[in-house]
Amino acid sequence: MPTLLVIDDNPSVGTALELLFSLHEIDVERAETPDAGLALLQRGGIDLVIQDMNFHADTTGGDEGVALFREIRDRHPDMPVILLTAWTRLESAVDLVKAGAADYIGKPWDDHKLLASVNNLLELVETRRELAARSAGERGRREAMAHQHDLRGLVYDDLASETVLSLALQVARSELPVLVSGPNGAGKEKYAEIIHYNSAVKSGPFVAVNCGALPSELIEAELFGAEPGAYTGAGSRARVGRFEAADGGTLFLDEIGTLPPAGQVKLLRVLETGRFQRLGGHQERSAKVRVVSATNADLASMIAEGRFREDLYYRLNGIELRLPALARRPRDILPLARHFLPAGRKLGSGAERALLQHPWPGNVRELRNAVQRAALLSGELIEASALGLMPLPSDGTAPGHGDEPDRAMIEAALQRAGGVMAQAAADLGMSRQALYRRLDRYGIPRG
């Protein structure tokens, strides 16, 4: 049951409020002086304060109430405070609301208005507590994860990223080949490194090769090596291929979907047998390699079209890690942006809003470039104009999103929040009650 504190020198006020709130299952503590009220606050267990503005019969200026309010704010900055007085002045109300007062209500008060204000504030208190508890749990998990594993400096704050990271760390301990899928610039190579450096072969080499950058006529030489004179320009020395270089470690095959058919056949044979020959050679060689591959392509569609071998796909895809686009993990945006800033630089509030509203088609790579470019063009404080991002529509909404979330957006927010209603509501920019109404409207279960 929530508890509020009434600080008022008039006992009849305290009695009336205690009766009013007891009828609505809200406990009331009472204090008749500022010092007594501060002492009760220090003891703890208070969710909200209703305080008078004058504590002596001959005072009407409200200075005592202002002093008490500021003392409460200093000692308990998150405590919601409703100011209650018979001597309301618009200037005082505006000033104190700007200073953080939750509401300013005149005596005699309207019971319905006061109850509505208190209930809204208590709901906000509950939401904040849930978010704080969730944040504390997340911090604890992440600190434990960072202590127990080598995360290669991964910066993240979104539950979607934590989910993928947890799976990557589980997968790392096995010998299964891993396929990392996701859009360009989402950080696929970073996760490949995490898998390697938390695996049984972490002391071995980590060798990365971009299959999309290999000329088709040199793919075999790049992957498996070449004997002297095996092809024009090969030179007089043997060339060690990427499989040999990765022996005892991890081979990361980026953009695997671009590998031509001939290269797919040769790669499949090596994955099946662990043996290969250098280009132009006859000696069979072997290498024990953990293979991690990555793609931004729809390999299933490529298989259906005959452009990618199905048997190779199943060899590569012992387990798949699907990296969400940056726009699908919005809580990562600001931590990543701050990570990319040079020392001594800071994002202005307008820049932070612009970063959160941008759709990020280029994902983390685009974010890094935008922030580093802005740092070159700015002083200590980086404003939105320096980021050079696509302007928002005139109504201020992010591209592709209206004011009213649809079913898919709500379900995605619930998934990101792990079913915690307060977090999902905050993600969608609405109250929990508003979220509940939309759950009922779309027939989405509440829990």
Does residue 29 or residue 214 have the better pLDDT?
A: 29
pLDDT class of 55 with cuts at 50, 70, 90: confident
| Structure tokens, 31 | 């204090």
Does residue 9 or residue 338 have the better pLDDT?
A: 338
Average of per-residue pLDDT across 19-47: 93
- The DSSP bridge partners found for residue 320 are 179
Cα gap 442→447, rounded to integer Å: 14
* pLDDT exceeds cutoff 60 at 402: no
| Structure tokens, 16 | 């009336």
Side-chain-facing half-sphere of 139: CA atoms under 13 Å = 6
Q: How far is CA 342 from CA 153, 332, 397, in A?
A: 16, 18, 30
Average of per-residue pLDDT across 197-211: 96
| Whole-prediction pTM | 0.68
**What region, left, alpha or beta, does residue 41 occupy, with left being phi > 0 and alpha being psi -120 to 50 degrees?**
alpha
Cα gap 351→356, rounded to integer Å: 9
Are 264 and 219 spatial neighbours (Cβ–Cβ below 8 Å)?
no
Instruction: Report pLDDT for 85.
Output: 75
* pLDDT exceeds cutoff 90 at 337: yes
Cα gap 94→172, rounded to integer Å: 57
Mean pLDDT comparison of 30-44, 76-90, 106-120, highest-scoring range:
30-44
Angle at 158 between CA 153 and CA 160, to 5 degrees: 105
* pLDDT exceeds cutoff 70 at 399: no
Instruction: Report pLDDT for 347.
Output: 94
- Which residues are within 8 A (CB) of 8 and not within 5 positions of it... i.e. 6 or more apart? 14, 30, 32, 50, 51, 52, 84
Mean pLDDT comparison of 95-104, 229-238, 246-255, 426-435, highest-scoring range:
246-255
The pLDDT tens digits for 233-258 are 666 788 899 999 999 999 999 999 99
Instruction: Report pLDDT for 214.
Output: 82
Average of per-residue pLDDT across 88-102: 69
Instruction: Report pLDDT for 390.
Output: 67
* pLDDT exceeds cutoff 70 at 28: yes
- Which residues are within 8 A (CB) of 440 and not within 5 positions of it... i.e. 6 or more apart? none
Instruction: Report pLDDT for 93.
Output: 62
The pLDDT tens digits for 269-292 are 999 998 998 888 889 999 999 999
How far separated are the first and last CA of the chain, in Å rounded? 22
Cα gap 317→441, rounded to integer Å: 40
Instruction: Report pLDDT for 298.
Output: 93
Amino acid at 76: H
Q: Are strands 3-7 and 319-322 parallel, antiparallel or unpaired?
A: unpaired
Round the average pLDDT of the chain to a whole number and report it. Answer: 87
* pLDDT exceeds cutoff 60 at 393: no
Cα gap 206→192, rounded to integer Å: 9
Instruction: Report pLDDT for 227.
Output: 87
* pLDDT exceeds cutoff 90 at 71: yes
Mean pLDDT comparison of 17-31, 221-235, 386-400, highest-scoring range:
17-31
pLDDT class of 299 with cuts at 50, 70, 90: very high
Instruction: Report pLDDT for 420.
Output: 73
pLDDT class of 172 with cuts at 50, 70, 90: very high
Average of per-residue pLDDT across 293-312: 95
Owner of token pair 């270089």: 245
* pLDDT exceeds cutoff 70 at 88: no
* pLDDT exceeds cutoff 80 at 425: no
Instruction: Report pLDDT for 206.
Output: 98
Q: Are strands 275-277 and 284-286 parallel, antiparallel or unpaired?
A: antiparallel
pLDDT class of 384 with cuts at 50, 70, 90: very high
